[in-house]
Structures are given as structure tokens and as C-alpha cells.
Amino acid sequence: MTLQKYPLDDDASDAFVFVDLDEADVATGIVRSAKKVLQDGARSLARHETYAWALLKTKFSGASGGINTPPDQQGVAYEQFTRALAASEANRKLILRPGKGVPPAEDSTLNDLTAQGVVAATRAALGGLDGRSVAVESGDAAAQRVSELLTESGVTVSTVTPAEFESTPSQALICGSKVGLIDHEMAARLPHDVIVPMGPSPVTARAFAVLTKKNVTVIPAFLSVCGPLFAHRAQVEMPNAGPDIETLCTQVDEFVTARSEELSQHPEGSYMGACFAAEEFLATWIEELPFGRPFG
């Protein structure tokens, strides 16, 4: 994993980008802004994206950016960051979509694609949606769209905060506001049968072990939230054509549904099956597998 630092015009601000795989000509991921963006979390985000591309059998890398700046300077710092990226002599195409703390306003296309993948993964895990009960973590526009799609499909939706996860019994919990959101202690108390991420790597490795012992199904985040990657791939392959959101949503739904059903049959469960599938593809085009799987 390669780290590139970018000094910004304001002495109080700086930025960085992690690219997971040096061999890739294209890297995509999320850029976040805060007073201090933790690099460990950024590495996790990049690895998550790499595994998502591998499930898609596409030779792209994950990436992740961070802008360290005071809250009142986030807009200016982001503009400086985009100029610094444009001026850099990078040997690859880098696509970073906005995350927390980063203007402009969230892209509705990416939100729709994220929601489509999350709902498809939930439907596959529960064997259907009509009459099911699902707790959805409150949050951004993508979370709202997830709730809307579930409600339209006959699901009883409970909107919850992390503090309410343990006291809201439902068949599935959809969450993902931050990396490592569910630790091993919370995992031991969760009453749900299925955990569906709607953000990168919300389950820690220890939490995954606890949930597996409880026979709780953990959907791999790099499958359930792969939706935006379909837009990124279209941007690379057809740079002069705007994305057809209806077509992309259909592609996301079909892909996540098919892979979810396939992975559910894996003897070690969906999550480990997805890891093995991603690593099998990575081994076809990089010399050495990256160390560490995408846990929070």
C-alpha cells in the first residue's frame, strides 16, 4: 500500500491518499475530511475497495483519501486538495468520491447505487423482503434511500442509532456509519440473525468471530456496498457518456443477488467465501496478495 502526501496552501491543513495496489492503472475510493483523519481507517477503506473490485473481477485498486483541516476550512481545503491531485504526475487514474466532511453535496446517483446493493444483499440473505423486519441505522441520504426501498418492498423498518441496536430485535440489522462500528462486546449482545453493512468494514475481526459463533450471518461489506463501483467503472470505460442510473441499478441488483446466493453456499460462510473469491482473482494479476482482510 502506497501513501502519497499533499501539502495544502493553508499551513493548518494537509492531505494524503493511500493506494492499495501499485500494479493497478486505476484506483478508486472515498476521501474524507476532519480535523484529524486517522490513517488506519483510511487503510481499511482502501482495502475494502480493493476486495470489492476483485469480486467484480476488475483489475482496479482501492484507494482512500484524507484531508486534515479545521472544520471551518473544509470547503477551501477540499478545493486545494482537488487542485493538488490534478497537478500531480500520477501514473494512474484516481477517482475519489466524497465521504464525511467533504463537499459538494452527496451524489444521488452514488446513493441510489449503494442502496440498491444493500437492499439486494438483504433480500438474498432473508430469502425475500415482504413481511420481514429490518433495523436500519439512521444516517445519510443512502440510508434514507435504503429505508424507502425496503418499505416499498413490504419490510417493517425500524430506524435506529447505534445505541439502539441491541434493544431493537429484528431479522436483520443494516448499519455502517463508520469503520469498526460493531466490536466484539456489541456483537455478543446483538439480537439479529443477519448483519448487512451499508458502509465499509463496520464489523471488527473479533466481532466477526463472535457473530459467527452465534450463527449470525455477516454479509461482506465489499459486496453489499459495491454499487458506486459500477458508476466508476462506467466512467473509466465510457468517459464521454453520462451514467444511465436505471441500467446501473439493474446491474448492481443482479450482481449482488447472484453473488450473495452463490456465496451463501460456501462451507465457511458468505464473508469468508467472498474473501476467498476476491483473493483468487487478485492472485491472477498481482505478484503478492495484500496483507490483511477488510475488517474494521
Q: What is the pLDDT of residues 13-59, one digit of tens each?
A: 999 999 999 999 999 999 999 999 999 999 999 999 999 999 999 99
Give 176-193 pLDDT, tens digit per residue: 999 999 999 999 999 999
Residue 107 has pLDDT above 70, yes or no: no
Same domain, 194 and 48: no
Q: Are residues 86 and 147 in the same domain?
A: no
Residue 249 falls inside a structural domain = no
The domain boundary residue, chosen from 98, 133, 157: 98
Q: What is the pLDDT of residue 27?
A: 97
Asked if residue 239 is part of any domain, the answer here is no
* 271 and 142 share one domain: yes
What CATH number does the domain containing 168 carry?
3.40.50.720
Single out the residue in 98, 133, 148 at which a domain terminates.
Answer: 98
Q: What does pTM read for this prediction? A: 0.94
The pLDDT of 135-142, averaged and rounded, is 93
| 89 occurs within a structural domain | yes
Gap between the Cα atoms of 102 and 76, Å rounded: 10
Q: Are residues 121 and 262 in the same domain?
A: yes
| 171 in a structural domain | yes
Q: Is the pLDDT of residue 149 over 90?
A: yes
48 lies in some domain: yes
* Confidence at residue 89, expressed as pLDDT on a 0 to 100 scale: 63
127 and 273, same domain (yes or no) = yes
* 121 and 264 fall within a common domain: yes
Closest to 32 in 3D by CA, of 77, 68, 66, 80: 66
Same-domain status, 218 and 268: yes
| Burial (CB count <10 Å: 0-12, 13-18, 19+), residue 67 | buried
**Are 213 and 265 in a shared domain?**
yes
Same domain? 185 vs 211: yes
Q: For the chain, what is the mean pLDDT? A: 94
Task: Give the C-alpha separation, 109 to 98, whole Å.
Answer: 12
Listed residues 47, 73, 98: the one ending a domain = 98
119 and 206 fall within a common domain: yes
For the record, the C-alpha cell of 225 comes out as 456496498
Residues 167 and 271 in one domain: yes
Average pLDDT score over residue span 231-253? 90
How far is the CA of 93 from the CAs of 24, 72, 109, in angstroms?
A: 9, 30, 21
Which residues constitute the domain of residue 187?
108-226+256-281
Task: Tell me, yes or no, whether 92 and 113 share the same domain.
Answer: no
Distant-in-sequence, close-in-space partners of 8: CB < 8 Å, separation ≥ 6: 14, 15, 67, 69, 77, 80, 81, 84
